[in-house]
Amino acid sequence: MKILVIGGGGREHALVWKIAQSPLVTKLYCAPGNPGTAALAENVPIAVDQLDQLLEFAQANTIDLTVVGPEQPLSLGIVDLFEANGLKIFGPSKDAAYIEGSKAFSKDLMQKYNVPTAAYGVFTDLVEAEAFIKRTGAPIVVKADGLAAGKGVIIAQTGDEALEAARDMLSGNAFGAAGSRVVIEEFLTGEEASFLVITDGRQIIPLASAQDHKAVFDGDQGPNTGGMGAYSPAPVVTADIHEKAMRQVLRPAIDGMAAEGRPYRGVLYAGLMVKDGQVKTLEFNARFGDPECQPLLMRMKSDIVPVLLAVANGDLTELELEWHDKAAVCVVMAAEGYPGDYRKGDAIEGLEKAAELDDLYVFHAGTAARDSLCVTNGGRVLGVTALGDTVKDAIEAAYRGVARITWPGVQYRSDIGRKALNRL
């Protein structure tokens, strides 16, 4: 089979790494890919939002299956376009990806189908938003309705801060059109978990549990990022929480999407808040999490290709996924300044030395090739991911890899996985 992976971040490097191990694959492409994927697949210089060019490439190269990594091409309708042209593709349609594309839609869906979530309001008018903020009190959470690369969520500690965030978004100054509508919601406390499933719209196969680290600094301090590290399994997801997440969140959301005429196929990612044995849903994403995908795929024992293909064919019946008993931890190494403006073009040292370590893989995210060098080219640069018999072993193994790699201004969290240790 010829497979095309769309995207060029750490998640897509992990997908390429996993797919490349399948005996079913004869040729693997990645568009646009990165220097990491170039070692395992043929990179194709087409950007993820160039849908017509991607279609032309898939047709000209008789691609048997396309796998979409990021949300943007999903929201632009890449799945609809490929399917209309008779091509198999893994991911939700444009209408189904709206579960991530609009937070207002997603919250209304949760309310309608009784999926537990924070109390909220949706506003386009600042005066009404202000009244809701006053009524609810702080801390309170203000979210841009549309896609904002994981940065459109402000946790406001005071009413004034919330009002300012809502004003910035509604005026179009922050996040442009994505902020012309805002969701304002109750602040939830507890421990977060990333709960991902693969579905054909009826059958649901849960992936192993995972936890992300959204804040940029140790101890969950500082602004939110796309994710500074992740691990799997996540002990916060006990058997009871798993059962509740499936019954109260994923099943009604997937059935609800079908009832709304937006049947959901692909990976559905529920961001959960767990507290006192209860789950609440923070958000849905229409794709694999990044960096959650990296530790999850390192732990996946089964060949992923039959599952991706079955979803593209609309029938997951009788498929299962097996997992390694080991734990996996991914530490993101980021460029100075991230998640704000960040440095680019610094030479990365030590990649070969890290590659000598067993049970460790360095996934590339924001890197570029320059002459014979590998240089930084994004906010999140690398995802150093390791397996271990326990979470503790995997943490130590990942940081042994991190210690071998450096560049000017490199930053990373030193506490990835600590919450899991606290629970053991």
Report the interface residues with ligand GLY, using CB under 6 A. 150, 212, 226-227, 285, 289-290, 292
Of 71, 185, 200, 290, the residue at the interface with ligand AMP (CB under 6 A) is 185
- C-alpha distance from residue 300 to each of 17, 323, 387 (Å): 12, 5, 11
Q: Does 197 bind ligand AMP (CB under 6 A)?
A: no
What one-character-per-residue DSSP string does 171-211 give?
A: TTTTTGGGGSSEEEEE---SEEEEEEEEESSS-EEEPPPBE
Q: Does 214 bind ligand AMP (CB under 6 A)?
A: yes
Least spacing, CB of residue 99 vs ligand AMP, in Å: 12
* Residues 134-173 as x/- pattern, contact with ligand AMP by CB under 6 A: -------x-x---------x-x------------------
289 binds, among ligand GLY, ligand AMP, none (CB under 5 to 8 A by kind): ligand GLY
Per DSSP bridges, beta strands 215-217 and 153-156 are unpaired
Least spacing, CB of residue 227 vs ligand AMP, in Å: 9
Q: Does 282 bind ligand AMP (CB under 6 A)?
A: yes
360: phi then psi, degrees, rounded to nearest 5: -135, 140
Do residues 44 and 30 make contact, with C-beta atoms less than 8 angstroms apart?
A: yes
Least spacing, CB of residue 345 vs ligand GLY, in Å: 25
Do residues 250 and 235 make contact, with C-beta atoms less than 8 angstroms apart?
A: no
Burial of 266 (0-12, 13-18, 19+ CB in 10 A): buried
Least spacing, CB of residue 214 vs ligand AMP, in Å: 5
For residue 316, which amino acid is it?
L
Residue 83 neighbours by CB distance under 10 Å? 13
Of 12, 71, 260, 283, the residue at the interface with ligand AMP (CB under 6 A) is 283
> What stretches of 61-158 show up as alpha helix (H) in DSSP?
71-76, 78-84, 94-101, 103-112, 126-136
Least spacing, CB of residue 189 vs ligand AMP, in Å: 7
Q: Does 249 bind ligand AMP (CB under 6 A)?
A: no
Least spacing, CB of residue 105 vs ligand AMP, in Å: 13
Pair of tokens at residue 71: 């949300």
227 binds, among ligand GLY, ligand AMP, none (CB under 5 to 8 A by kind): ligand GLY
- Write out the residues near ligand AMP by the rule CB under 6 A: 118, 141, 143, 153, 155, 185-188, 192, 214, 224, 271, 282-283
